[in-house]
Amino acid sequence: MSDLHTLIREGLSHNRGGLLGSQGYILGVDLGSYGLRTALVDLGNSTIISSDAEIDQAEPDAIVEHVIGMARGLLKQADVSSDRLVRVGVGFGGPIDLRRGVIRLAPRMEGWENYPLQERFEQAFDTVTLIDNDANLIALGEAMFGAAKDCQHVFYMHLSSGVGGGAVLNGRLYHGATSTAGEIGHAVVGRGWDGNGRPETLEELVSIRALLRRAKSLGLETENLSDIFSNHPAGQQVVHETVELIATRCAQIVALLDPEIIVLGGIVVRMGGEAFVQAIGDKMHSCVTPQFVRPIPIVASTLGPDSVTMGAVALALDSLVD
């Protein structure tokens, strides 16, 4: 993968020429998807500095204060005052109410419901702040800087402790009527592995916990995701079933959104590697009905741990042309 400096430089030159000035700074923040991460982009020189830390507090206010302190540290490092910031972008691992600027739900972090995230950052930096959920930001980041660079129609699927997604249509994030577009993990896909019982969502079947639970039912008891992608027969069965599930969902996305490319990310994809992504792509193409048949790349995300901060930067950049 190219380093962040190269990605920023290429992204600014290829994607958003004629920005609202080529001066000032943008701050990108990842609040919890990969710990805490901040990035400060100099629009004039197309350079970036960044920092990261583990989450060692539990209360939302304490975590926000910590990451705000990290961001102020970057400003100090760059010898830049906060009045030089033209935008702040913030990503969070859960649904966001964009109209009110608050967190709707925090599946993996307690106490964040209705937290006024946008307001906190605007108070801290006196700068226009945009917030969004992590999967949406990764989708936009991959479209501007990463695996889908220069594509206008992109769908991103995130496979980790949860299953999320984001859609970039006509080069812009698509949020839907209530800011919840792209939440593919909550789509009902069937009645479980055995075809019986209540309908289950994609997340209930292919999240990390679900994969380990399915492996256990087949005789492979482990807490290590890498064992799923081993030569163990139960692991191979789980991978086969997972490929089928994800590929059919991707075929439905093709029929619904007509993307140029589908990007897959998250720890499940990183662990599965190229063979896993290739298997999903091959199966998806066999599921696409004839009227939609065309080469549609399915690729792994490339931004890695910096994907949310890069997406937050992309969101901020996008807002400068509005």
User: 274-307: per-residue pLDDT in tens?
Assistant: 999 999 999 999 988 776 667 899 999 999 889 9
Amino acid present at 169:
L
Task: Provide the number of structural domains found in the chain.
Answer: 2
Mean pLDDT across 128-149: 95
Q: Are 119 and 28 found together in one domain?
A: yes
Question: What is the pLDDT, as a whole number, of residue 203?
Answer: 94
254 in Cβ contact with 285 (< 8 Å): no
Residues 155 and 296 in one domain: yes
- pLDDT of 214 strictly over 50: yes
Query: Residue 291: what pLDDT?
Result: 67
118: CB partners within 8 A, 6+ apart: 90, 101, 102, 129, 130, 131
In single-letter form, the type of residue at position 27 comes to L
Residues 75 and 200 in one domain: no
* Between 223 and 4, residue with greater pLDDT: 223
Shared domain for 195 and 89, answered yes or no, is no
Q: Indicate the length of the chain as a whole number.
A: 322
Residue 238 pLDDT exceeds 90: yes
Taking each helix axis as running N to C, give the angle between helix 307-319 and helix 4-15, from 0 to 180 degrees, rounded to the nearest 10: 30
CATH number for 195: 3.30.420.40
Does residue 18 carry a pLDDT above 50?
no
Clarify whether residues 246 and 127 are in a common domain. no
Asked if 276 and 300 touch (Cβ cutoff 8 Å), the reply is: no
Instruction: Pull the structure tokens for residue 300.
Output: 């792994």
221 with 256, same domain: the answer is yes
* pLDDT at 47 (0 to 100): 86
42 plus 167 within the same structural domain: no
Helix (H, G, I), strand (E, B) or coil at 32: strand
Q: If we measure between CA atoms, which residue out of 101, 98, 7 comes closest to residue 48?
A: 7
Domain shared by 164 and 228, yes or no: yes
Q: Are residues 273 and 228 in the same domain?
A: yes
Lowest mean pLDDT among 77-81, 92-96, 307-311: 92-96
Rounded CA-CA distance 140/308 in Å is 9
**pLDDT band of 117, cuts 50, 70, 90:** very high
Tell me what pLDDT residue 81 has. Answer: 94
Range of the domain at 108: 4-142+305-319
Under the phi-then-psi rule, with left for phi > 0, alpha for psi from -120 to 50, and beta for the rest, what region is 166?
beta
Q: Do 135 and 161 reside in the same domain of the chain?
A: no
Are 135 and 162 within one domain?
A: no
* Domain match, 98 and 175 both: no
* More confident position, 47 or 155: 155
Q: What string of DSSP letters covers 204-256?
A: HHHSHHHHHHHHHHTT---S-HHHHTSS-HHHHHHHHHHHHHHHHHHHHHHHH
266: nearest Cα among 161, 186, 130: 161
Position of tokens 């492996």? Answer: 215
pLDDT digits (tens, 9 = 90+) for 248-282: 999 999 999 999 999 999 999 999 999 999 999 99
- pLDDT digits over 37-61, tens only? 999 999 888 889 999 999 877 799 9
